């Protein structure tokens, strides 16, 4: 496990006020951050204004030293075992960075392999294996400048695995990629964690990607930790419950207490809100017999299967069913707007 313990990073900048005078200013990029990444786990790192994500990744990668606090990897203090830590970690960035375009794909892997101290035979076998795994065997000896964006990103993954790291830091890994390629790379990331046991830290502006992949998510704001929880738990805490809307025919207000009683027996909290006359869910036409019932719940999307026997029992006909389900993007927007403390 990687463990950050109360880590703070403060930058000092100097602004000249004349020929002989300068003003020193301090900026706290990360403040008292505690964070962990276990092997086999995908952890998301999301940020609002001046979040400190980049600084956090650089400290985890040994590129920056914390001002205070400590970082441990598998029980070893990072500050005293820098070279060992560097063998255990690697970073994959999105876009088209961290590759040498005039070198071929194979030459890039050979170069980075030598930086990690691998011998020539090991580099050759690993390069062939990794190029095959990311589907670049046929393009292995082409200059990277001839690669498409998707090919470059696949080579990034191969480069990030050249030292067989136990922990990977992924900074916007699907940035600018077409949907099919991005989906393929998400599958690769999931496989690296769940099948190969690598601990992964993921930053991404594609919040659906974070929801799909991450076991836990840390949300930072101006260097401070706001929240840490499972993605769906963050959505519930910040953006509220889901709301199911049922369009029914044959409704009678006498059924309201019976429905509320039925909801109370379900395995998850549910709240019956006021119903209103509305359009028929299928035809869109107004009908005096059409009535919309709204129910708020942590799992409103599952209510249709639980309510179907009840509606049948009381002679109601379901004309339509919709579910308003907030997502992680809704939660992050609310946090960024300061509408949630």
Residues 78 and 177 in one domain: yes
Domain stops at, among 180, 212, 237:
237
* 65 vs 241: CA distance, rounded Å: 41
Cα within 13 Å of Cα(162), Cβ side: 31
Residues 198 and 317 in one domain: no
pLDDT at 262: 84
* 138 vs 43: CA distance, rounded Å: 33
**Which two tokens mark 27?**
């900026």
Per-residue pLDDT of the chain (341 residues; tens, 9 = 90+): 999 999 999 998 877 776 777 778 888 999 999 999 999 999 999 987 678 898 999 999 999 999 999 999 999 999 999 999 999 999 988 777 789 999 999 999 999 999 999 999 999 999 999 999 888 999 999 999 999 888 898 899 899 999 999 999 998 888 877 888 888 888 989 999 999 999 999 998 889 999 999 999 999 988 899 999 999 899 988 888 788 888 888 888 888 888 888 887 876 555 666 555 554 444 444 455 678 888 877 777 777 788 888 888 998 888 888 888 888 988 988 887 775 55
Cα 36 to Cα 23, 162, 202, 332, distances in angstroms: 37, 24, 13, 21
Residues 189 and 305 in one domain: no
Residues counted in the chain: 341
pLDDT at 225: 93
Is the separation of the CB atoms in 31 and 196 below 8 Å?
no
For 238, residues 6+ apart whose C-beta sits below 8 A from its C-beta are 227, 330, 331, 334, 335, 340
Ordered DSSP codes for 102-157: TSBHHHHHHHHHHHTT--HHHHHHHHHHHHHHTT-STTTTSBGGGS-HHHHHHHHH
Ordered DSSP codes for 198-249: -EEEEE-S-HHHHHHH-SEEEEEETTEEEEEE-HHHHHHHHH--EEEEEEEE
Domain count, the chain: 2
Which candidate, 192, 181, 185, 293, places its Cα nearest to that of 244? 293
Domain-located, residue 212: yes
* 322 vs 294: CA distance, rounded Å: 10
* 84 vs 178: CA distance, rounded Å: 37
CATH number of the domain at 126, please.
3.40.50.300
Which candidate, 37, 42, 40, places its Cα nearest to that of 60? 37
pLDDT at 280: 45
Helix (H) or strand (E) holding 203: strand 199-203
pLDDT at 297: 79
pLDDT at 269: 57
pLDDT at 42: 97
pLDDT at 106: 96
Residues 230 and 252 in one domain: no
CATH number of the domain at 269, please.
3.30.70
Cα-to-chain-centroid distance, residue 112: 27
Residues 151 and 32 in one domain: yes
pLDDT at 278: 53
Domain that holds residue 280: 241-325
Tell me the pairing of strands 167-171 and 199-203. Answer: parallel
């Amino acid at each position: 496990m990687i463990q950050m313990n109360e880590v703070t990073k403060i930058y000092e900048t100097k602004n000249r006020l004349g020929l002989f005078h300068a003003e020193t200013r301090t900026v706290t990029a990360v403040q008292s951050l505690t964070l962990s990444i276990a092997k086999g786990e995908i952890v998301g790192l999301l940020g609002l204004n001046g979040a400190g994500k980049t600084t956090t990744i650089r400290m985890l990668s040994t590129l920056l030293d914390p001002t205070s606090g400590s970082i441990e990897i598998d029980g070893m203090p990072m500050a005293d075992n820098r070279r060992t830590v560097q063998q255990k970690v690697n970073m994959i960035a999105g876009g088209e960075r961290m590759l040498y375009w005039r070198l071929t794909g194979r030459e890039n892997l050979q170069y980075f392999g030598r930086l990690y101290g691998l011998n020539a035979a090991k580099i050759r076998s690993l390069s062939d294996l990794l190029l095959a795994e990311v589907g670049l065997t046929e393009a292995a000896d082409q200059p990277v400048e001839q690669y498409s964006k998707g090919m470059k990103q696949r080579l990034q993954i191969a480069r990030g695995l050249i030292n067989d790291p136990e922990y990977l830091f992924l900074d916007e890994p699907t940035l600018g990629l077409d949907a099919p390629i991005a989906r393929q790379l998400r599958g690769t990331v999931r496989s690296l964690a769940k099948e190969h046991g690598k601990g992964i830290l993921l930053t991404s502006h594609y919040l659906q990607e974070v929801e799909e992949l991450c076991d836990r998510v840390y949300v930072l704001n101006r260097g401070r930790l706001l929240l840490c929880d499972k993605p769906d738990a963050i959505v519930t805490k910040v953006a509220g419950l889901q709301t199911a809307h049922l369009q029914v025919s044959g409704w009678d207000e006498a059924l309201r207490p019976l429905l509320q009683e039925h909801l109370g027996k379900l395995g998850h909290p549910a709240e019956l809100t006021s119903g209103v006359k509305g359009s028929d869910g299928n035809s869109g036409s107004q009908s005096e017999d059409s009535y919309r019932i709204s129910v708020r719940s942590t799992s409103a999307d599952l209510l249709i299967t639980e309510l179907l026997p009840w509606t049948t029992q009381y002679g109601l006909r379901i004309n339509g069913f919709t579910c308003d389900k907030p997502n992680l993007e809704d939660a992050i927007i609310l946090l960024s707007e300061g509408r949630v403390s």
